[in-house]
């Protein structure tokens, strides 16, 4: 069931004097069958630790399937509104840096939409990467040369010191990494509603939304990756939907369903009905719509280079913190 059809169904039911349990059952069955239509990997395993010491939280093969499925939708472009907005805001940050980037790498692939907001005067060539081949084929046209590379952003097929604009090993010295990702407050309304509903109906809850990074962790993560001159800021994008079914359907259409190893794929009918009611009761707007909040974390980091400004050596200061309280006080020049 498409978002438009689902909206019409919910609006029709909402305008009726009272919806019978049978009609609600048909609505939820139809919407849930749409939500379960996405291919999923039956193999399950818990979180593990890779040989490099990093926790393996996400099923990368599942994410590839989700993106391929989303890219195969005939109305897939209707779900690009969030990427369009974030891509535009990331491009603005590129323009804020007073320099040009001959070679840039866009890890967001064909649907990040950052490249189309840039010009040849800032970036000469762009390499797009994505784990989904179907997504790359849907790349929009840009005024600069664009090269498409099928690759997982966690395992990039580029040698070190290659790009002027991207991330660590493939980034040239004095190159800049500008990134955006969803933060910890993203979809808190949906998460809270599902947890309360599942606790009430099933006596406990399971994770149905991917874990997110907290803004307080970004500085440490960028520092550990070898960046300096760090800048981190947050933004909030709020989208209004007719109901919880549209939120979940659009997340699928974006290819952003949960792919954590510890996810629970089944969501019971009674639970989702209860979650829909809780969502509207706790967060609903006066016009009957519900908000979904996306916290976007933006980060800028520079790969070290000898030409960059460096902090002064310890002990080289010429003023004491104890003298700060005297700043701005009138100086008595009269001598008796």
pLDDT in tens, the chain (336 residues): 334 433 333 333 333 333 344 444 444 444 444 444 444 444 444 433 444 455 677 778 888 888 888 888 888 888 888 888 888 888 888 888 877 888 887 776 555 556 677 777 788 888 888 777 777 777 666 677 787 888 777 777 888 778 776 646 556 678 888 888 888 889 999 999 998 998 988 887 777 777 778 888 888 888 888 888 888 999 999 999 999 999 999 988 888 877 777 777 677 888 899 999 999 999 999 999 999 999 999 988 888 888 777 767 777 777 777 777 776 676 665 555
- What pLDDT score was predicted for residue 38? 44
- What pLDDT score was predicted for residue 44? 41
- What pLDDT score was predicted for residue 22? 43
- What pLDDT score was predicted for residue 15? 38
Could you tell me if 66 and 130 are in contact, meaning their C-beta atoms sit under 8 angstroms apart? Answer: no
- What pLDDT score was predicted for residue 57? 74
Q: In what order do the strands lie in the sheet with 228-241?
A: 146-150, 123-130, 101-106, 163-165, 171-182, 290-302, 228-241
Beta strands in 10-144 (DSSP E): 48-49, 55-56, 101-106, 123-130
Here the tokens at position 185 are 């407050």
Q: What is the DSSP letter of 40?
A: -
Rounded to a whole number of angstroms, the CA Rg of the chain reads 25
Q: What is the DSSP letter of 122?
A: T
Q: Which H/E stretch holds residue 81?
A: helix 81-95
Q: What is the DSSP letter of 296?
A: E
State residue 39 phi and psi, 5-degree precision: -65, 140
276 alpha carbon, distance to own chain's centre: 24
Could you tell me if 275 and 244 are in contact, meaning their C-beta atoms sit under 8 angstroms apart? Answer: yes
- CA gap 18, 262 in Å, rounded: 38
Closest to 149 in 3D by CA, of 139, 160, 140: 139
Closest to 39 in 3D by CA, of 262, 212, 257: 257
* Helix axes 21-35 and 244-253, enclosed angle (nearest 10): 10
- For 77, half-sphere exposure in the C-beta direction (CA atoms, 13 angstrom radius) is 5
167 alpha carbon, distance to own chain's centre: 17
- CA gap 66, 265 in Å, rounded: 13
Closest to 156 in 3D by CA, of 173, 178, 131: 131
Q: Is 44 left (phi over 0), alpha (psi -120 to 50) or beta?
A: beta
93 alpha carbon, distance to own chain's centre: 17
Domains along the chain with CATH numbers: 60-307 (3.40.50.150)
State residue 156 phi and psi, 5-degree precision: -75, 135
């Amino acid at each position: 069931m498409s978002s438009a059809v689902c909206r019409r169904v919910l609006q029709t039911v909402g305008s009726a004097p009272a919806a019978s349990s049978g009609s609600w059952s048909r609505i939820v069955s139809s919407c849930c069958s749409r939500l379960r239509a996405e291919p999923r990997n039956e193999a399950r395993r818990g979180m593990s630790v890779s040989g490099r010491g990093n926790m393996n939280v996400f099923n990368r093969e599942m994410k590839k399937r989700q993106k391929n499925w989303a890219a195969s939708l005939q109305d897939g472009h209707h779900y690009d509104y969030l990427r369009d907005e974030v891509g535009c805001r990331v491009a603005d940050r590129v323009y804020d840096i007073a320099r040009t980037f001959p070679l840039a790498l866009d890890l967001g692939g064909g649907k990040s939409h950052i490249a189309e907001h840039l010009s040849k005067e800032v970036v000469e060539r762009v390499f797009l990467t994505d784990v989904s081949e179907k997504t790359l084929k849907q790349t929009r046209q840009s005024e600069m040369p664009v090269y498409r590379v099928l690759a997982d952003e966690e395992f990039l097929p580029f040698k070190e010191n290659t790009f002027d604009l991207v991330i660590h090993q493939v980034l040239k010295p004095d190159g800049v990494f500008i990134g955006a990702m969803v933060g910890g407050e993203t979809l808190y309304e949906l998460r809270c509603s599902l947890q309360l509903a599942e606790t009430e109906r099933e006596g406990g809850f399971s994770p149905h939304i991917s874990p997110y990074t907290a803004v307080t962790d970004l500085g440490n993560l960028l520092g550990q990756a070898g960046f300096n001159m760090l800048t981190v800021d947050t933004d909030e994008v709020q989208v209004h939907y007719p109901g919880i079914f549209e939120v979940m359907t659009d997340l699928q259409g974006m290819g952003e369903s949960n792919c954590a190893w510890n996810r629970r794929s089944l969501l019971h009918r009674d639970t989702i009905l209860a979650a829909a009611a809780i969502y509207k009761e706790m967060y609903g707007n006066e016009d009957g719509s519900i908000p979904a909040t996306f916290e976007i974390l933006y980060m800028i980091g520079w790969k070290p280079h000898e030409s960059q400004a460096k902090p002064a050596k310890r002990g080289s200061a010429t003023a004491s913190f104890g003298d700060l309280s005297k700043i701005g006080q009138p100086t008595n020049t009269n001598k008796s």
